[in-house]
Amino acid sequence: MKRLVAMAFLGVCVAATAGTRKITVRIPTENLDEFRRVAELAKELGANHVWATQIEPSMWIWDRDRTDPYPNWGLENATVFKFVVPEALKEWLPADYARRNFETLAARGKILRELGLKAQFQGNEPAFFPEEVYRAHPTWRGPRCDQARRARHEYYAPCVDNPEVRALYFEAVKTICTACPFDAFSFLSNDSGGGLCWAEGLYAGENGPARCKGRSIGKRITDFLSIFQEAAKAAGLGDVEANVFHIGQTDEIKTLPLLKPGQSVNNKTLTTQARQVGVGRAGYGDFTFPVWLLPHLVDYARGLQRMAAAKDANLSFTFRSLEDVDAIEFVKRYQGRIAPGEAAAQKALEEFAASRVGAEDAVVLTGIWNDLERIYERVDYMQTGGRIFMLGTVHQRWLTRPFVAFPEELKPEEKDYYRAYQFQAQTEADADDMSDLQANKWLKGYGAANLVQKTVFRLSPIITGAIASAEKLAKRHANEPYGKELKLLELRLRAFRFVIRNMLRAVTFQDLMDRSDRHSPPKPDSPALREQGDARLATINQLVRDEIDDSLELAALIDAAPGRLFDTAPTKAFTSVMHFEPDLSASLRKKAEIMENHRRDFLRFLRSYNR
């Protein structure tokens, strides 16, 4: 009876708002069957929109030059011309790739129409064109939109003030809207390979063609958003909303007074300062990435509270996967039911935990969820253009690259397996430096290493305690339906602890190398009998051994787990800077072998008396 009452309350809560604001569900899917399940979930949540612009990663862009990692930021971002290639662009954009995306989009649109739902387009616009396009059409060239230290080539977005470019967008958007009922568009700009002429947020600074320099940025933004609204109307969809975000504060102020009905900038209008309120994180926003689906229910509880307080804003529910069953069920049960305040959030969490493991163990499970939130609070400062476990663990391949004294001497067969997927556009010396995070070395030096050490020192007992609690719960409930989920929770927490330890060792190891003269021979022997050699050598030897042991243990853990422990690419072909390779355990074992083979290289500059 309690469940029925809760769902009745949910129905009343949603009914009061669904007709007046957009409520969107966003979940990545692997096929159309999963997309249908997402659409059905949206109906159950009372949502009226579903994110429909997940694309096949545009690997062809990166394939143009695999030594330039910058396109990786946009491989998974939807753009208009990744669905429709106008005749004028067919010489330079792959029509077969766009056709596959468009066919999937049309199939999604059919499902949404069957269920009476609308689609949401989220992407990156205006996105860069290949350089050959601008050689053929020089007046189409807009702003340079790459980040110079993160790219090996210059990338230019099209100038959306140009009538021919606007016509390309209009016809492509009209075609897209005919295939799928889009009712809302939202674009990241001035980032990830996209940008607007003369915008203050461009990495290269305000730039663009001289002919449009004096034009109002606000007028440029509103006219660009109008393309999507007018094209959708021409496709028979009526009035739609359009938003662009990552717009600088000054440009935002200039744009707000010029916005037309249905438009927003940074999800704001002159009268609404929070037009979009969301719950949930995915991919780039998931602080435990690349570990797969560690629970963030505390964040969901607080997000639902924010939603309840936002009476007029559009709402969005984000889940990392349909496998994220606890998050999905929690939202289904508690949307509109959690009163303000931390105590109310904790009460909801404990009630939900009791439905999983019983009242006796509810506090233990809730404690694990709270422990993960405490870890997040301790590592949140370690980000610059992304969270540390994405920028270091994945982008710099900390987890799979070997810790060796002379990385510059590694042979291709010892290096290519990780270097090919490393985000590094500068020199090979920079690539060999583990503290270089997207051309930013803010973790460089003893002070930074010491700060990371202190951080890990404080969070280590938290993650260790969470593992112990999860292990206890997994054993107690092993024969129950939720037992497998608890076992996976335990193993994923163990994997996360490996990631944390690896982060500490990567920063510490690089600091030790930076403070060593690797190109000078060891100093003369000491007469002291008990001295075993250079004190740093003992530290490095232990660090290297621990990293080898952890790599092998983690590989075994991955192979024996009854489910996924890490986010990995679906196939080797889709492995990128953003995702580990499917055979992650093989890479970990390869790393350990390489480190063993080069263990004694440190003796070339650090004295050991054991010869």
Question: Any idea which of 410-419, 433-442, 569-578 has the lowest mean pLDDT?
Answer: 433-442
Is the pLDDT at 11 greater than 80? The verdict is no
Q: pLDDT value at position 607?
A: 87
Closest CA to 85 of 149, 166, 169: 169
Q: pLDDT value at position 529?
A: 56
Q: pLDDT value at position 530?
A: 60
E strand map for 28-134: 49-51, 118-124
Is the pLDDT at 9 greater than 70? The verdict is no
The residue that leads in pLDDT, 442 or 209, is 209
Q: How far apart are CA 262 and CA 247, in angstroms?
A: 17
Determine if residue 402 is left, alpha or beta; phi over 0 gives left, psi from -120 to 50 gives alpha, anything else beta.
Answer: beta
Q: What confidence tier does 16 reach under pLDDT thresholds 50, 70, 90?
A: very low
Write the CB contacts of 374 (distance below 8 Å, at least 6 apart in sequence). 459, 462
Q: pLDDT value at position 534?
A: 84
Tokens (6 digits) for 147? 């980040």
Q: pLDDT value at position 527?
A: 62
Is the pLDDT at 252 greater than 60? The verdict is yes
pLDDT in tens, 507-562: 999 999 999 999 999 876 666 656 667 888 999 999 999 999 999 999 999 999 99
Q: What is the mean pLDDT of residues 93-103?
A: 98
Q: How far apart are CA 605 and CA 249, in angstroms?
A: 52
What does the mean pLDDT of the chain come to?
93
Percent of the chain with pLDDT over 70: 95
Q: How far apart are CA 184 and CA 598, in angstroms?
A: 55
Ranges of H-type helices in 477-518: 483-514
pLDDT in tens, 308-332: 998 888 999 999 999 999 999 999 9
Q: What is the mean pLDDT of residues 353-378?
A: 97
Is the pLDDT at 575 greater than 70? The verdict is yes
Is the pLDDT at 274 greater than 80? The verdict is no
Q: What is the mean pLDDT of residues 101-128?
A: 98
Q: Helices 2-18 & 325-334, crossing angle to 10 degrees?
A: 80
Other beta carbons within 10 Å of 346: 17
Is the pLDDT at 156 greater than 90? The verdict is yes
Q: pLDDT value at position 311?
A: 83
- Strand 23-26 and strand 49-51: the pairing is parallel
Closest CA to 187 of 102, 291, 267: 267
Q: What confidence tier does 490 reach under pLDDT thresholds 50, 70, 90?
A: very high
Other beta carbons within 10 Å of 98: 24
Is the pLDDT at 19 greater than 60? The verdict is no
pLDDT in tens, 336-363: 999 999 999 999 999 999 999 999 999 9
Closest CA to 463 of 364, 349, 368, 382: 368
- Per DSSP, the three-state class of 76 is coil
Amino acid in the structure at residue 324: D
Domains of the chain: which residue ranges?
A: 1-47+283-359, 52-273, 381-604
